[in-house]
Amino acid sequence: DAKRRGRNTWQTFTPELARQQHDRVQVEAQLRKALDNGEFRLVYQPLVNLADGHVRSAEALIRWRNHALGELSPEVFINHAETTGDIVRIGGWVIQTACRQMAAWRKAGLAPARVAVNVSYRQFLTEDLVPLVAACLQENQLPGELLELEFTERVLIEDAPDTHRTFEGLRKLGVVLTIDDFGEGYSALNYLRRLPIHGLKLAQPFLRGVPGNESDAAICQAVAGIAQALGLDLVAEGVESSVQRDFLMGLGVRTGQGFLFSPALDPDAFAAYLRQTGQPASSL
Ligand code: C2E
Ligand code: MG
Ligand code: MG
Ligand code: MG
């Protein structure tokens, strides 16, 4: 029996496993060289005031185009980069590039735009993060409040000994700290009191069920209540319809991000979007 099961297992799974293994090796080999080959770029998605459409800030999102693999989603390759450790160098490039872009926009007289950067779990644990952020801000003469770092609940849950020191260091720089995809992992509510967090981003899946799914709507409402009670800023991700926008405004949510307003844009297109939406002098 064991033998037959074993053989079936082989027959059923080996080709698939082999293909996955091959893909993984391929992706990781290309990933290793991608930074030096200049294959990454950042695009920027506006976060807008739901009431008047003004741009409040932008989220920088990485894009990777590779000659052999084509365009890969960050949902996929960020995980590989976490496994190999390449994420630390890539993440450093992201912070540096976003800061340079912000400085360039300011020089061009464009008011915004606090820029939010995603920081992966592994990158968050490196000792270099705080000095790296400090250096990027200084080189580009940016006050810390213009940079926002988004990280996931995993950072809070694993509670590594260095986490608190890192948060403290970032807070001293004035950097804005936000929990991304809130509600998607295990929500670590107790950490919301202990760490210097500024805001939450409601994970997309909950809004996807609105309108129609009552439990999704209830979760959105509950998260809005938590944010309000704790004085945290709340951003809704994945706003795709005006019904969703109105629902959020009814909950007192002020800021949203999603295809209803704009997808992520190249820097020039983002600047054009700012001009077109009549960005006020300062969004801070
Ligand atoms: P995220 O940080 O939660 O980013 C939001 C994702 O939702 C982005 O996908 C964005 O394009 C997408 N999105 C925005 N509005 C809508 C909408 O209305 N509907 C739908 N269906 N989707 C919307 P993207 O750019 O593919 O990024 C996926 C994830 O990859 C990000 O999720 C983030 O976790 C990760 N990521 C992206 N860039 C970076 C980076 O520079 N560093 C790290 N560590 N992770 C990154
Ligand atoms: Mg994010
Ligand atoms: Mg998110
Ligand atoms: Mg996400």
ipTM summary value? 0.97
Pairwise CA distance, residues 107 & 236, whole Å: 30
% of the chain exceeding 70 in pLDDT:
91
pLDDT at 182: 92
Instruction: Specify the range with the lowest mean pLDDT, choosing from 48-57, 198-207, 208-217, 275-284.
Output: 275-284
Q: Which two tokens stand for residue 150?
A: 């988004």
| Number of neighbouring beta carbons within 10 Å of residue 280 | 12
Q: How confident is the model at residue 100 (pLDDT cuts 50, 70, 90)?
A: very high
- Say if residues 59 and 44 touch (Cβ distance below 8 Å): yes
265 backbone dihedrals φ, ψ, rounded to 5°: -125, 150
In the predicted model, is pLDDT for residue 282 greater than 70? no
Q: Quick one: average pLDDT of 166-173?
A: 94
**92 CB near ligand 1 (under 6 Å):** no
Cis omega (within 30 of 0) on the bond before 211? yes
152 backbone dihedrals φ, ψ, rounded to 5°: -95, 170
Question: Which H/E stretch holds residue 230?
Answer: helix 214-230
- Expressed in angstroms and rounded, the spacing between residue 55 Cα and the centre of ligand 4 is 21
Q: How confident is the model at residue 163 (pLDDT cuts 50, 70, 90)?
A: confident
- Cβ partners under 8 Å of residue 209, min gap 6: 215, 216, 217
**What does pTM read for this prediction?**
0.92
**86 CB near ligand 1 (under 6 Å):** no
**144 CB near ligand 1 (under 6 Å):** no
Pairwise CA distance, residues 211 & 227, whole Å: 21
- Expressed in angstroms and rounded, the spacing between residue 5 Cα and the centre of ligand 4 is 38
- Expressed in angstroms and rounded, the spacing between residue 10 Cα and the centre of ligand 1 is 36
**181 CB near ligand 1 (under 6 Å):** yes
- Cβ partners under 8 Å of residue 266, min gap 6: 41, 43, 44
CA dist list (Å): 154 to 85, 87, 183, 268: 17, 16, 11, 34
Pairwise CA distance, residues 79 & 237, whole Å: 21
Q: Which of 35, 61, 239 to mutate to test the pocket of ligand 1 (most atoms within 8 A of CB)?
A: 61
- Expressed in angstroms and rounded, the spacing between residue 179 Cα and the centre of ligand 4 is 11
In the predicted model, is pLDDT for residue 284 greater than 50? no
